[in-house]
Amino acid sequence: MIPKKEFGRTGHTSSKIIFGGYALSKAIQEEADHILDILLENGINHIDTALGYGNSEKCIGKWMEKHRDDFFLATKTRSRSYKGAMEDLQRSLKQLRVDYIDLWQMHGLTNPAGWEKAMSSEGTLAAFIEAHDKGLVKYLGVTGHGSKVAAMHKRSLDRFDFDSVLLPYNYTMMQNPRYAADFNDLIELCKKRNVAVQTIKSVTRRPWENQARRYNTYFYEPLENQDAIDKAVHWSLGLPDSFVITAGDMQILPKMLDAAKRFETPPSDKEMKDLINEYDVRKIFSY
């Protein structure tokens, strides 16, 4: 089974691997139900989805009729206004078929102008605080992609005491000195405040090019060889007190879970450099 750990200060003991709901963005319910079986078999008890993930919330909502108590349930809003965020929350509650969300997150909060709007008196943050006070959501978080997200998350934590952050973490990105410095500063702050850290992009191989997309991963072509996935997942799991969110593809999911079950120690720098050379691993974001 996948190991579990307390998810920040929430009091919930979450599986170290979190199911990335984007994998269900184009799924039909029959496919989603097969994924549910895989999650239950592997002891995954934490789901991360978003209103903007296509069919994901609706598919997961069907699960919640019988399995609400089995999962810590997280979703997101991309709205930067109070009104839009509250409307998004009502849609998510309806689609997920639940009375409350465990973790509600600001989706992709990296643009400075959008950040200012979201944090204003009529922005998303006002909706977050109200929804929390009304018991519609238990915890609040911020998420983001790109190379500037770590710095932006630190800015968000300076503005409000969020319960979690979500951002990319893989060997290639951490070779960028500026991103690594921002990331490490953020991690230190999260440690001090007991903020849960969720990482994404662990099995990134390279940007999608002109080839037909065989996988449902949005930003990148993933690693697909089991040995390569093992090393990439094990390296990300080597970050203490963090959680790895699975890639947004149903085919890659079982391989990531298999890798996580066999994690003991992260691979060496040499092993990761060899992986980069063998599989032509490239950065997907420029600073």
DSSP class of residue 239? Answer: S
What is d(CA 75, CA 107) in angstroms, rounded to the nearest whole number? 9
183-208 burial: b if 16+ Cβ within 10 Å, else e: beebbeebeeeebbbbbbbbbbbbee
Short-list 272, 206, 196, 270, CA closest to 233: 272
What is d(CA 189, CA 194) in angstroms, rounded to the nearest whole number? 8
Residues 50-73 pLDDT 10s: 999 999 999 999 999 999 999 999
Residues 276-285 pLDDT 10s: 999 999 999 9
φ, ψ dihedrals at 54, nearest 5°: 50, -120
At 20, is the secondary structure helix, strand, or coil? strand
Rg (CA), the chain: 18
Is it the case that residue 246 has pLDDT exceeding 80? yes
Residues 88-115 pLDDT 10s: 999 999 999 999 999 999 999 999 999 9
Q: What share of the chain is helix, strand, coil (3-state, %, to 5)?
A: 45, 20, 35
φ, ψ dihedrals at 126, nearest 5°: -60, -40
Contact 216, 248 (CB under 8 A): yes
Which CATH code for domain 4-279? 3.20.20.100
Label residue 211 by pLDDT band (50, 70, 90).
Answer: confident
The pTM assigned to this predicted structure is: 0.98
